[in-house]
C-alpha cells in the first residue's frame, strides 16, 4: 500500500477488491489539437442531418449521383488478386513491378533515365508518404537546405516539411485579382532565391487553385531553374485527372527532364485510380548514374524502415495488375478520361448556371482552372454562410471540389454561391 502513497498517489479500493492507483495523468497538459482543415470538413458534413447537404470539401471523386466510385479495372484486378497470393512482406522499397510501371507513367514509356537505371524509386504511402519520405531525405542529405512552397498549396505540405524539420519559404503563385497565375512574381521569387534552392512544384492541377502554368511558362520556369541551379520536387497527385490524358498531364515534368534537371517526384494513385484508402504512391529521385541511384534508394529505404518497415502490399498489387495487363490498362485510361471529362463538364455547368443567374462577378476562372478543384475566390465569411445557411461543405479558403458537383446539385450550388456573393 505504501508504494501507492508515494509520488502523490492515493489508493482507492474498488468493489472487486483491487486497488487502483490515483496518480494524476501524464497527459493533463496535452492541448486538444485543431481539427484538420480539410478532413474536418467531411467530419462536419457527416454530422449534418440536413437531407440537402452537399459535400464539395475533400478531393475525392464522385459520380454524377454523388457516389464514390470503384473503377472497373480495379474491381477486376481485385477479383484476380483475392485469395490467390500470399501476404508476405514487400521489400522495404515496395513492389518492384508497381514502381516500374509507375515510373513509366511519370517519365515516359521509353525514358532513357529508366533504361539507364538512373532513377532511385520506392513505393510510398500515397502522395503524403512520398512527400514525407523526400522531406526526411532532404533533411538528412541536404541539411542546410530549405523548401520553397507555393502560395497557396495543399495545407498538409506545410505540416510535412515542418515535421521533417526542413525550414520553409514561400513563393508567389496564385494571383487573386485574376484568379490565375502570378507568373511575374513567381519568376521574381525564383530568381531571387539563393542558387540551389529546393522548390515544391505541382506537376498539374494545382491544389487548391486549379491554376497551372502554360507550357510556355513551364519552359521559362525550367530555364530559370537551370540558371539558378535549383532543385525541382514535383508533387503529381492528379496525373490523368487534369486533362484526361496522363501524357499531357506529365508535360511539366517532361520539360524539366528535357532540360536535364535531376528532379524528385511524388506520385499518387489515390485519385487517378480511385485507390484513396489503399495508400499507394511512389517517390522517385533522378540521379546522375545507376550507382548513385542505388545509393539514394538504399537511403530512402533506411528512412522507411523506422517509419513502417515496408509498404502495404494490396494497393500495389492492384496497380501492378492493372498497369501490367494491356487490356486493363486500356480500360483504366478510358475510366480516367471519363472522370476528367465529367469534371470538365461540371465546370461548364457551374459557370453557365452562375452566369444565367445574373451574377455580377466573373466566373471565367471556373472553366480556366483545371483538375479537381476550383478556387472560387469566396471569402471565409461567404463560405461560412454557404455552410450555415445552405449546408454546403467546403474548405474555408473557398476551394470547391468539382468532383462533388453533380447535375443533380449544380443548380442548388450555383444558387447558393450567387446568394452569398451577389452583393460582394
Write out 222-276 in H/E/C secondary structure.
HHHHHHHCCEEEEEECCCCCCCCCHHHHCHHHHHHHHCCCCCEEEEECCCCCCCH
**Which position among 176, 277, 380, 408 is part of the footprint of another protein (CB under 8 A)?**
277
Give the residue carrying C-alpha cell 496535452. Answer: 30
CB 347, min distance to another protein, A: 23
Query: Closest by alpha carbon to 203, among 166, 162, 248?
Result: 248
Q: Which of residues 82-111 bind another protein (CB under 8 A)?
A: 82-83, 86-92
CB 163, min distance to another protein, A: 4
Which of the stretches 96-104, 276-284, 338-346, 392-400 binds another protein when contact is defined by CB under 8 A?
Answer: 276-284
Closest CB to another protein among 40 and 411? 40
Q: Which of residues 39-58 bind another protein (CB under 8 A)?
A: 39, 43, 58
How far is it, in rounded angstroms, from Cα 206 to Cα 208? 6
Q: Which of residues 134-193 bind another protein (CB under 8 A)?
A: 141-142, 145, 156, 159-160, 162-163
Which of the stretches 126-134, 332-340, 375-383, 384-392 binds another protein when contact is defined by CB under 8 A?
Answer: 126-134
Quick check: is 363 catalytic? no
Give the residue carrying C-alpha cell 477479383. Answer: 79
String marking each residue 375-414 x if it binds another protein according to CB under 8 A = ----------------------------------------
Closest CB to another protein among 211 and 331? 331
Q: Is the peptide bond before 152 cis (omega within 30 degrees of 0)?
A: yes
Q: Which of residues 300-359 bind another protein (CB under 8 A)?
A: 301-302, 305-315
Q: Which of residues 241-270 bind another protein (CB under 8 A)?
A: 257-262, 270
Quick check: is 154 catalytic? yes
Residue 275 found at the interface with another protein (CB under 8 A): yes
Query: Counting Cβ atoms within 10 Å, is residue 324 exposed (0-12), middle (13-18) or buried (19+)?
Result: middle
Of residues 182, 189, 218, 271, which has the active-site annotation? 271
- Sign, CA dihedral 82-84-88-94, equals negative
Which of the stretches 18-26, 96-104, 335-343, 361-369 binds another protein when contact is defined by CB under 8 A?
Answer: 18-26
Q: Which of residues 217-236 bind another protein (CB under 8 A)?
A: 226, 229, 231
**DSSP-derived pairing of the beta strands 231-236 and 198-202:** parallel
Inter-residue contact 321 to 80 (CB < 8 Å): yes
Residue 215 found at the interface with another protein (CB under 8 A): no
Which of the stretches 12-20, 49-57, 392-400, 403-411 binds another protein when contact is defined by CB under 8 A?
Answer: 12-20
How far is it, in rounded angstroms, from Cα 305 to Cα 92? 7
How open is the CA angle 129-255-229, to the nearest 5 degrees?
75
Query: Closest by alpha carbon to 262, among 288, 236, 237?
Result: 288
Closest CB to another protein among 51 and 306? 306
Inter-residue contact 139 to 165 (CB < 8 Å): yes
How far is it, in rounded angstroms, from Cα 192 to Cα 89? 46
Residue 15 found at the interface with another protein (CB under 8 A): no
Quick check: is 249 catalytic? no
CB 417, min distance to another protein, A: 26
CB 128, min distance to another protein, A: 4
**Cβ count within 10 A of residue 402:** 27
The set of catalytic residues is 154, 235, 271
Amino acid at each position: 500500500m505504501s508504494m501507492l502513497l508515494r509520488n502523490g498517489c492515493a489508493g482507492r479500493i474498488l468493489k472487486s477488491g483491487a486497488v487502483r492507483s490515483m496518480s494524476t495523468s501524464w497527459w493533463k497538459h496535452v492541448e486538444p489539437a485543431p481539427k484538420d482543415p480539410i478532413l474536418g470538413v467531411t467530419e462536419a458534413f457527416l454530422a449534418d442531418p440536413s437531407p440537402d447537404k452537399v459535400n464539395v470539401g475533400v478531393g475525392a471523386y464522385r459520380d454524377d449521383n454523388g457516389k464514390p466510385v470503384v473503377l472497373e479495372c480495379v474491381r477486376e484486378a481485385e477479383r484476380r488478386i483475392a485469395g490467390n497470393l500470399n501476404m508476405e512482406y514487400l521489400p522495404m522499397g515496395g513492389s518492384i513491378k508497381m514502381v516500374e510501371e509507375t515510373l513509366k507513367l511519370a517519365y515516359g514509356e521509353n525514358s532513357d533515365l529508366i533504361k539507364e537505371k538512373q532513377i532511385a524509386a520506392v513505393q510510398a504511402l500515397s502522395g503524403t508518404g512520398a512527400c514525407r519520405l523526400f522531406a526526411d531525405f532532404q533533411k538528412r542529405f541536404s541539411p542546410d537546405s530549405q523548401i520553397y512552397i507555393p502560395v497557396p498549396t495543399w495545407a498538409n505540405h506545410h505540416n510535412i516539411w515542418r515535421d521533417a524539420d526542413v525550414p520553409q519559404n514561400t513563393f508567389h503563385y496564385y494571383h487573386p485579382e485574376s484568379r490565375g497565375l502570378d507568373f511575374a512574381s513567381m519568376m521574381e521569387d525564383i530568381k531571387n532565391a539563393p542558387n540551389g534552392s529546393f522548390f515544391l512544384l505541382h506537376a498539374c492541377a494545382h491544389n487548391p487553385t486549379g491554376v497551372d502554368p502554360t507550357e510556355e511558362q513551364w519552359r521559362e520556369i525550367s530555364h530559370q531553374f537551370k540558371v539558378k541551379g535549383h532543385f525541382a520536387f514535383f508533387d503529381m497527385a492528379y496525373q490523368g485527372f487534369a486533362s484526361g490524358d496522363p501524357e499531357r498531364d506529365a508535360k511539366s515534368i517532361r520539360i524539366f527532364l528535357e532540360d536535364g534537371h535531376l528532379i524528385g517526384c511524388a506520385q499518387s494513385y489515390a485519385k487517378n485510380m480511385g485507390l484513396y484508402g489503399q495508400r499507394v504512391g511512389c517517390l522517385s529521385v533522378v540521379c546522375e548514374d545507376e550507382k548513385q541511384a542505388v545509393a539514394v534508394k538504399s537511403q530512402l529505404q533506411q528512412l522507411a524502415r523506422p517509419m513502417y518497415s515496408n509498404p502495404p502490399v494490396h494497393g500495389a498489387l492492384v496497380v501492378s495488375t492493372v498497369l501490367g495487363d494491356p487490356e486493363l490498362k486500356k480500360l483504366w485510361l478510358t475510366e480516367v478520361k471519363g472522370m476528367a471529362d465529367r469534371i470538365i463538364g461540371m465546370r461548364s455547368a457551374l459557370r453557365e448556371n452562375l452566369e444565367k443567374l445574373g451574377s455580377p462577378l466573373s466566373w471565367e476562372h471556373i472553366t480556366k482552372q483545371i483538375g479537381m478543384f476550383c478556387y472560387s475566390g469566396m471569402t471565409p465569411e461567404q463560405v461560412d454562410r454557404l455552410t450555415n445557411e445552405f449546408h454546403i461543405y467546403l474548405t474555408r479558403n473557398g476551394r470547391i471540389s468539382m468532383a462533388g458537383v453533380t447535375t443533380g446539385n449544380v443548380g442548388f450550388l450555383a444558387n447558393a454561391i450567387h446568394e452569398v456573393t451577389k452583393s460582394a
